Amino acid sequence: MSATARGDNTSRFSGFADLYDSERPAPPSALGPLLAAYAGVARPHVVDLGSGTGLSSRWAAGWAGSVIGVEPNDDMRAVAVSRPLEGVSYRAGLSHDTGLSSGIGDVVTAVQAMHWMEPESTLAEVARILRPGGVFAAVDADWPPVTGVARAEMAWATLHARIRVFEARVAAGEQLDQVLRPIAVDDPVLRDEDLHDPHKNRLMPGGARSWAKSEHLARMRSSGRFAFVRELLFDEPVPGGADRFVALMRSQGSYQGLVRFGISDEDLGVTAFERDVHAAFGNVAPADAPTELRFAWRARIGITPRDQ
């Protein structure tokens, strides 16, 4: 779901669009009407940057008057186009170069995408395509989803750390046999490991680049393009148990990239992860077994000056 000036970021999301679309969560239901209220329009015109497979654009259609999804990745955009919805259209474009007219949007969104976008040029484009008093929202889910099953979430954290180290080794140009050497507990790549902000100082293969999610709000504020900024927090359930928890991990671009590099699920630790997750969910008493996962969402919003 990337819309950025960097083609290497865009290509990271090729090859698993159907899995992404079937497993990833839609944004929180309460957020859309709030964005419309902040914009002061009952059915706002929305531009959805990094619209990916259309998950966020279809969500926006429930509260918007019209939606334009902007997505550079052909695989992702093809899935979006294959799921047509009245009032929703898609186009190829980048977050800093949408090709849209100035002032076209009441609301601009970037759902689980802003960390792939070069911030300065993206915020300049956001300000250009928003009308005065328009609203921008950078929307992110915290990973992993909340399950109530600690062992499953611990397995995710363990696997995430392994994937981060392997990505850094591939990024450094190591060959497969070097990449697969044992990981030390004090590996320097893990010094700032943070599941809440996994893109902080992250080293990725192919020249891909991301920006820390925790700095979205500060960057929006310091850009000088917004009269008001703040963060909104949401808690949203989605159906699912162990199978979806595992599938959500497989929908991560980091995992998919390492598989393309040639690392097996066994070597990655995914086989052990899947086994541990199913065992963890299976150990929960049937009456208490989770039938849903819960996502914590953060929406960093900015409202453009009305007198610009």
Do 162 and 115 fall into the same domain? no
Beta bridge partners of 235: 296
pLDDT of residue 203: 85
Crossing angle for the helix pair 270-282 and 242-250, to the nearest 10 degrees:
160
Q: How confident is the model at residue 5 (pLDDT cuts 50, 70, 90)?
A: very low
Establish whether the linkage from the previous residue to 72 is cis, with ω within 30° of 0.
no
DSSP, residue by residue, 218-264: HHHHHTT--SEEEEEEEEEEEE--HHHHHHHHHT-HHHHHHHHHT--
Q: Does the reported pTM lie above 0.85?
A: yes
The Cα-based distances of 150 to 157, 225, 227 in angstroms read: 11, 42, 42
And the tokens for 113? 């995408």
Do 104 and 35 fall into the same domain? yes
Do 51 and 102 fall into the same domain? yes
Give the burial string for 55-67 (b: 16+ CB within 10 Å, else e): bbbbbbbebbebb
Give the residue numbers spanning the domain of 164: 150-204+240-292
Q: pLDDT, tens digit, for every residue of 191-230?
A: 989 888 999 888 899 888 999 999 999 999 999 999 999 9
Do 182 and 299 fall into the same domain? no
Q: pLDDT, tens digit, for every residue of 146-178?
A: 999 999 999 999 999 999 999 999 999 999 999
Q: How many domains does the chain have?
A: 2
Q: pLDDT, tens digit, for every residue of 34-82?
A: 999 999 999 999 999 999 999 999 999 999 999 999 999 999 999 999 9
Question: Quick check: 178 and 168 in contact, CB under 8 A?
Answer: no
Do 75 and 222 fall into the same domain? yes
Do 78 and 111 fall into the same domain? yes
Q: Which segments of the chain are extended strands (E)?
A: 45-49, 66-70, 88-91, 105-111, 130-141, 228-239, 292-303
Do 177 and 230 fall into the same domain? no
Specify if 2 maps to a domain: no
| C-alpha to C-alpha distance for 298 and 22, rounded to whole angstroms | 22
Do 94 and 215 fall into the same domain? yes
CATH code for the domain in which residue 29 is found: 3.40.50.150
